[in-house]
Amino acid sequence: MSATAMELGATERRSPHPIRVDHFVRGRLVTGEVIRHRSRDLGVDFTTPEIDLDALVTPRSELPPLLDVKTSEIIDFLVECGERMQLEKNPHLQQALERIVATNPLPRRVVENLFRDAGRFLSRDSLGCSIETNFANPAALDGWVERTDFHGQHGALRAFPPRMIHMLAGNSPTGCIASIAQGALVKAINVFKMPSSDPFTCVAMLRTMADVDPDHPVVRSMSAVYWRGGDERIERTLYRPQYFDKIVAWGGGDAIDNVIQYLGPGIQLVSFDPKTSISMIGPEGFASDAVIAEIAEAAATDVTVFNQEACLASRFLFVEGDREGIEKFCARLQERLGVDRETASEVAHPLPAETREQIEMLQLMDDEARIWGQCDGRGLVILTPSPVDFHPSHKTANVVHVDSLDDAVRYVNVATQTIGIYPAARKAEMRDRLASAGAQRVVRLGSAAKHVMGGPHDAMFPLQRFVHWMSDEDA
Amino acid sequence: MGAAVEKLTGLAQAADRFAIGHADLREAQIDAMNECLQERRERIKLLDHRAKEASLREIRTLEDVVPVLFPHTAYKSYPESWLIGQKWDRLGKWLGTVSAYPIAPIDTSDIRDIDDWIARLEAVGHFVACSSGTTGKSAMLIASARDIEWSCSDNVAAFSWGSGVEAKQDYRMFGLAPVAHVTKNQAIGNAHTAAFGDPRVEKFHLPVPPITVGQLTKMVVLRKAIAEGTARPADIAAFEATSKERQETLEKSYILGAEALVAAREHKLFISGMWNALYQIAVLVRGMGYSGKDFHPENCIYVGGGLKRAQLPPDYQQVVHETFNIPAHRNFQIYSMQELGSTMPRCQKGRRYHVPPWIVPLILNKNGDALEPKRGSEVEGRAAFFDLSLDGRWGGVITGDKISLDFAPCACGNASPSVRDDIVRYADLEGDDKIGCAGTVDAYVRGLS
């Protein structure tokens, strides 16, 4: 099935009636069409209830609702909620889906697939794995753990629940489920600030959880609201250490700049930074037509994740090897970019105008660059001797022909996240240099979206940074 | 030049050029745009490409021209790496895709920087104006000698029309802006001096060295080096020291400017500059104990550009006008941009920018790919213009501005289409509320803006 105009939300976008956004505050649904907003990506109008700031803040005199709930119990509850995340049976998700397709650039079918796959964030294995890898002694989450230093002095330690604001990312609707799980695992009091491209999924998920048990401490620890990012009236008031310990934010630019101005003693930023991902393919990849076909499919898998809206989607593919083989690869890659996939559609949105200008210019100059495909969102491959200086998006791959992959290391920087490498044996050989340049993750080409459970994100173990490490000492 | 283009541009000096209504011009304007298309499509590579893509053979309606209007970004579509890597031959070739005249190969072997390259091109008749993109890329707009001449006489005529000041060489000229070294802008400044300046007195220039394109480029180069991780701390420190020094020189020059104005206060002054500098100097003049009553009542002012991100109090214009005794009817404003060769002066009575007969105004949708439907006489949307006077490059451009264009006669009595005095940039309207995990290394570069 291919994406049609309907799938891309074209019809809904023209609707003159603003879409209703509900809030969820400390376990209770809040409705009301009081404030009108416009979504960032697609310019759709929606309305939200008025935000009661007092309700969003739990006074420090109150102990966190999850403090005395065992981690194992929290996991049981999350797993049970995960089982209710079935699109066919869950009216909250169904309603969210209808609304998301109007505000989010992802096609309907991709959002459906993401919802179908969302249960994995709440699997017992993955939740347990996060805790095991984040905490040297997970018992510190459930109570005070004793420790003794080299001098025999005693103390106790507790990973005390934090008060957190999560600024959710807008490019993956189900990303909020991972954030909800993280907030629950560290027993935090959580406020989720929803993005304008999806002010729906988080509330749908919390309502699903409330259906399981409306008074569960996990549910009472969660609020999800929308305000326009940068709204001083809300942010100046709310972002204070007396109210919150940590702000967890995705992205860069204005979104982070807005938060940074409120940081100070007692209130910290844990940022999941904006990232670019790349691929590196050695000469072995162009050895035969069969190998070319195989690596073109693997590369296309990595490029097209969420129609290239994701940070782990590859954008620059550095290749070393024989020119003829590389050009065959480019042609094949272009074909494979136009294939319907689990998390990508045959046709993405067309490229932005400014990028089109630059690509058109490369075509007009008719040397150095070779181009396969068009700017129509069906997949575009640009072969150049050095990286283009625009950000390849909407299923665009910039294949950069380098003399040696060692030369490509200089294009790795502090914004580089995932590097898909072929042949996989080159990973071990290159990983130290890639880490030194700033990269965070090396994977086999074609596996950018697959993860070993419980791994770090953005070069850190976030849960261990979220908690308030409280120490009781008898020195 | 075709007959229709000649007819419309021939109105440049006509006293009643803004009195002609849209309906009376439409046919000639469409013919003129078609003449340009026929004459230039073989010469401008990008135009030919666009016309082919749109299967456009001739322009018969306003709709026809939309696919061959160039977005303002077309003039910065070159890879920045060529600028940084000083690949002059490649940049020359790129410029050739938007130039109406072939760019003969020039010797680039001993070119030291972009200033050299621009000078070398000028010597062979190609004038390149670079916009001062500080954080982003500079646009490079190529023009011919004829374009420069046109802009000079158009600007002088527009100023006279909008301010009521006659070109009688009886003003003392004060240039109160740190000037960018761009030939077109300097030529326009000289044309004003020749028309309005008292030839016995030399023009006052703010005593700061002009900013060259090469200096602006250094910032772009450093930004890129920081992003790539190759800039060393000493490089950044040296750049910041230079910026600080420049700022100090500038602030000192404001004091000298204020003193020179006070000394010349009994003469008729023609003050030009940008709002930020004018405001700072006005505050200094007030601090010295002088104000409107001390200055000549026939003073006039020519302000170029917007605020350029300067943070000024809301009454900054009033402060400047009152300090220098600029009467309300001399509050001259124009609407134009580097992409155009002509200007749209604001009338005093209707406070609207008037579009001359040789500029075809078009209002497009936000995406810039279709004409906005006309309901009533006033249309709002993305501004696009076809400047029929342009000779060295294509005249059709889509801007980043949101404007309201009225086709009905203005309160000032003139029948030309006019633009309401509330122009905003789309980029400023939207802000950036977007948040996601995907992004570029630009978010990791601090400062340098």
Phi, psi (5° rounding) for residue B275? -55, -45
Nearest Cα of chain B lies from the Cα of A195 at a distance, in angstroms, of 7
Give the type of residue at A372: W
Domains of chain B: 1-68+360-433 (no CATH), 76-130 (no CATH), 146-332 (3.40.50)
How many C-beta atoms lie closer than 10 Å to residue B214's C-beta?
A: 17
Extract the tokens encoding A242: 């007396």
pLDDT-derived band at A5 (thresholds 50, 70, 90) equals very low
* Set of chain A residues whose Cβ sits within 8 Å of the Cβ of B74: 357, 361
Closest CA to A255 of A177, A169, A337: A169
Please state, in angstroms and rounded to a whole number, the distance separating the CA atoms of residues B150 and B4.
Answer: 17
Extract the tokens encoding A142: 């459930």
Burial code (b: 16+ CB inside 10 Å, e: under 16) for B345-375 equals: bbbbebbbbbbbbbbbbbbbeeebeebeeee
Whether the upstream peptide bond of residue A423 has omega within 30° of 0, thus cis, is yes
- Predicted confidence at residue B431, as pLDDT, reads 55
What integer is the mean pLDDT of A340-357? 88
Q: Which residue does chain B place closest to A438, by CA atoms?
A: B229
Give the type of residue at A451: H
Nearest Cα of chain B lies from the Cα of A11 at a distance, in angstroms, of 17
Q: Which residue does chain A place closest to B74, by CA atoms?
A: A357
Q: Are B99 and B126 in contact (CB under 8 A)?
A: yes
**Does A315 score more than 90 pLDDT?**
yes
Phi, psi (5° rounding) for residue B51? -65, -40
Contact B443 A415 (CB under 8 A): yes
Please state, in angstroms and rounded to a whole number, the distance separating the CA atoms of residues B173 and A178.
Answer: 66
Closest CA to B172 of B237, B243, B267: B267
Measured torsion, CA atoms of residues B29, B34, B40, B45, in degrees rounded to the nearest 10: 110
Nearest Cα of chain B lies from the Cα of A33 at a distance, in angstroms, of 21
Least CB–CB distance from B74: residue in A273, A310, A357: A357
Contact A415 B439 (CB under 8 A): yes
Least CB–CB distance from A391: residue in B228, B367, B440: B440
Contact B440 A310 (CB under 8 A): no
Burial code (b: 16+ CB inside 10 Å, e: under 16) for B94-117 equals: bbbbbbbbebeeeebeebeebeeb
Structural domain boundaries of chain A? 10-273+458-474, 276-444
Least CB–CB distance from B434: residue in A40, A365, A389: A40
Q: Which residue does chain B place closest to A37, by CA atoms?
A: B433
Asked if A357 has any chain B CB less than 8 Å from its own CB, the reply is yes
**Does A7 score more than 60 pLDDT?**
no
Nearest Cα of chain B lies from the Cα of A42 at a distance, in angstroms, of 11
Task: Give the long-range contacts of residues B82-85, CB within 8 A, separation 24 or more.
Answer: B83/B114, B83/B217, B83/B220, B83/B221, B84/B220, B84/B221, B84/B224
Please state, in angstroms and rounded to a whole number, the distance separating the CA atoms of residues B260 and B256.
Answer: 6
Average pLDDT, chain A: 91
Phi, psi (5° rounding) for residue B431? 60, -165
The residue with greater pLDDT, A59 or A17, is A59
Q: Is A131 helix (H, G, I), strand (E, B) or coil?
A: helix
Please state, in angstroms and rounded to a whole number, the distance separating the CA atoms of residues A138 and A158.
Answer: 10
Evaluate whether the domain defined by A10-273+458-474 bears CATH number 3.40.605.10.
yes
Chain B interface test: which of A38, A40, A418 (most B C-beta within 10 Å): A40
Contact B46 A311 (CB under 8 A): no
Closest CA to B343 of B278, B389, B276, B307: B389
Chain segment A131-186, per-residue pLDDT in tens: 999 999 999 999 999 999 999 999 999 999 999 999 998 778 888 999 999 999 99
Please state, in angstroms and rounded to a whole number, the distance separating the CA atoms of residues A135 and A142.
Answer: 12
Contact A410 B228 (CB under 8 A): yes
Prediction pTM value: 0.83
What integer is the mean pLDDT of B216-243? 86
- Predicted confidence at residue B56, as pLDDT, reads 95
The DSSP bridge pattern shows strands B378-387 and B396-406 to be: antiparallel
Least CB–CB distance from A250: residue in B71, B435, B442: B435
pLDDT-derived band at A440 (thresholds 50, 70, 90) equals very high
Asked if A272 has any chain B CB less than 8 Å from its own CB, the reply is yes
Please state, in angstroms and rounded to a whole number, the distance separating the CA atoms of residues B93 and B105.
Answer: 9
What string of DSSP letters covers A144-199?
A: -EEEE-TT--EEEEEEEPPEEEEE--SS-TTHHHHHHHHHHHTT-EEEEE--TT-S
Which superfamily does A276-444 belong to?
A: Aldehyde Dehydrogenase; Chain A, domain 2 (3.40.309.10)
DSSP 8-state secondary structure symbol assigned to residue A401: E
Beta strands of B281-420 (E only): which ranges? 300-303, 331-332, 334-335, 344-345, 353-354, 359-364, 378-387, 396-406, 418-419
Closest CA to A473 of A153, A159, A158, A160: A153
pLDDT-derived band at A3 (thresholds 50, 70, 90) equals very low
Q: Are A466 and A188 in contact (CB under 8 A)?
A: yes
* Set of chain B residues whose Cβ sits within 8 Å of the Cβ of A172: 437
Q: Are A258 and A404 in contact (CB under 8 A)?
A: no
Q: Is A87 helix (H, G, I), strand (E, B) or coil?
A: coil
Phi, psi (5° rounding) for residue B162? -80, -30
DSSP 8-state secondary structure symbol assigned to residue B425: E
Asked if A462 has any chain B CB less than 8 Å from its own CB, the reply is no
Chain segment B317-343, per-residue pLDDT in tens: 899 999 999 987 787 888 888 889 999
DSSP 8-state secondary structure symbol assigned to residue A286: G
What string of DSSP letters covers A9-23?
A: THHHHT-SSPEE--E
- Predicted confidence at residue A41, as pLDDT, reads 74
**Does A228 score more than 70 pLDDT?**
yes
What integer is the mean pLDDT of A348-356? 86
Closest CA to A274 of A302, A232, A315: A315
Chain segment B362-372, per-residue pLDDT in tens: 999 988 889 99
Lowest-pLDDT choice from A5-9, A21-25, A261-265, A272-276:
A5-9
Extract the tokens encoding B323: 């300090």
- Predicted confidence at residue A14, as pLDDT, reads 43
Chain segment B288-318, per-residue pLDDT in tens: 999 999 999 999 998 876 666 677 888 998 9
The DSSP bridge pattern shows strands B344-345 and B334-335 to be: antiparallel
Please state, in angstroms and rounded to a whole number, the distance separating the CA atoms of residues B97 and A363.
Answer: 11
Please state, in angstroms and rounded to a whole number, the distance separating the CA atoms of residues B293 and A407.
Answer: 69
Q: Cα angle vertex A301, ends A300, A303, to 5°?
A: 60
**Does A311 score more than 80 pLDDT?**
yes
Residues 175-204 of A with CB under 8 A from B: 175, 195-197
Contact B434 A197 (CB under 8 A): yes
- Predicted confidence at residue B436, as pLDDT, reads 61
- Predicted confidence at residue B65, as pLDDT, reads 97
What integer is the mean pLDDT of B228-234? 88
pLDDT-derived band at B135 (thresholds 50, 70, 90) equals low
Q: Which residue does chain A place closest to B49, by CA atoms?
A: A364
Contact A171 B81 (CB under 8 A): no
ipTM: 0.80
Contact B437 A175 (CB under 8 A): yes
Least CB–CB distance from A230: residue in B81, B431, B441: B431
Chain segment A8-58, per-residue pLDDT in tens: 333 334 446 899 999 999 999 999 999 999 887 777 899 999 999 999 999
Asked if A275 has any chain B CB less than 8 Å from its own CB, the reply is yes
Contact A256 B443 (CB under 8 A): yes
Residue A331 CA to chain centroid, in angstroms? 30
Chain segment B164-222, per-residue pLDDT in tens: 899 999 999 999 987 777 888 889 999 999 999 999 999 999 988 877 888 878 888 88
Residue A435 CA to chain centroid, in angstroms? 21
Lowest-pLDDT choice from A103-107, A299-303, B114-118:
A103-107
Q: Is A306 helix (H, G, I), strand (E, B) or coil?
A: helix
Q: Are B309 and B301 in contact (CB under 8 A)?
A: no
Contact A273 B432 (CB under 8 A): no
Of chain A, the percentage scoring pLDDT greater than 70 comes to 96
Please state, in angstroms and rounded to a whole number, the distance separating the CA atoms of residues A332 and A323.
Answer: 14
Lowest-pLDDT choice from A119-133, B18-32, B134-148:
B134-148
Contact B436 A170 (CB under 8 A): yes
Chain B interface test: which of A271, A311, A365 (most B C-beta within 10 Å): A365
Chain segment A442-460, per-residue pLDDT in tens: 999 999 999 898 889 889 9
Phi, psi (5° rounding) for residue B174? -125, 115
- Predicted confidence at residue B102, as pLDDT, reads 93
- Predicted confidence at residue A9, as pLDDT, reads 35
Chain segment B392-449, per-residue pLDDT in tens: 999 999 998 999 999 999 999 999 999 998 888 887 776 545 566 667 677 777 765 4
- Predicted confidence at residue B107, as pLDDT, reads 87
